[in-house]
Amino acid sequence: MKSKEILALLPYQEPFLFVDEILSVSADSIVGTYTYDKTLPFYQGHFKKKPVTPGVILTETMAQIGLVSLGIYLISSETESTVQNKEEIEIAFTSADVNFFLPVYPGEKVTVKSEKQYFRFNKLKCKVQLFNDQEELVCRGTLTGMMKK
């Protein structure tokens, strides 16, 4: 499955799509990027004088790239048939344990790197890291979700 196919199958749309590109994907890992547009609505109130990307949005970005995108790839590989549309995939984000180290400001590009811990009985668990453009670790954590075709 190609990166563009994965992006087309993501069950998100603007303004809640936090994946620009998938740089690499395999049965064990995925790497992708996203740039936070300065006009995203949450920046208006978080915070008044110096906008910062909320931690929940950083976690969602990690989940969309590091869990859901990888899950779509794994589901297609496991079933040996390409998923044709978003409605064929069932996804439930079940848990996140994330630590934050640096802020992300409007206009910044981030890179998400995820390593599969396991995928069995439709449950995917990944160790995920998010880096800023200076390759500094912004946050990292363990994410899990349920996915099936």
Scan for tokens 């910044």, then name that residue: 108
Residues whose CB falls within 8 Å of the CB of residue 38, separated by 6 or more in sequence, listed in order? 106, 107
- Number of C-alpha atoms within 13 angstroms, CB side, residue 96? 21
43-66 pLDDT per residue, tens: 999 998 899 999 999 999 999 999
Instruction: Evaluate whether 63 touches 10 at the Cβ level (below 8 Å).
Output: no
Q: Is 141 an active-site residue?
A: no
Q: Which structure tokens are listed for 83?
A: 């998923």
What is the domain partition of the chain in residue ranges? 3-148
CATH 3.40.1350.10 fits 3-148, yes or no: no
Element (H, E) at 31: strand 29-35
Catalytic position from the list 3, 23, 42, 46: 46
91-144 pLDDT per residue, tens: 889 999 999 999 999 999 999 999 999 999 999 999 999 999 999 999 999 999
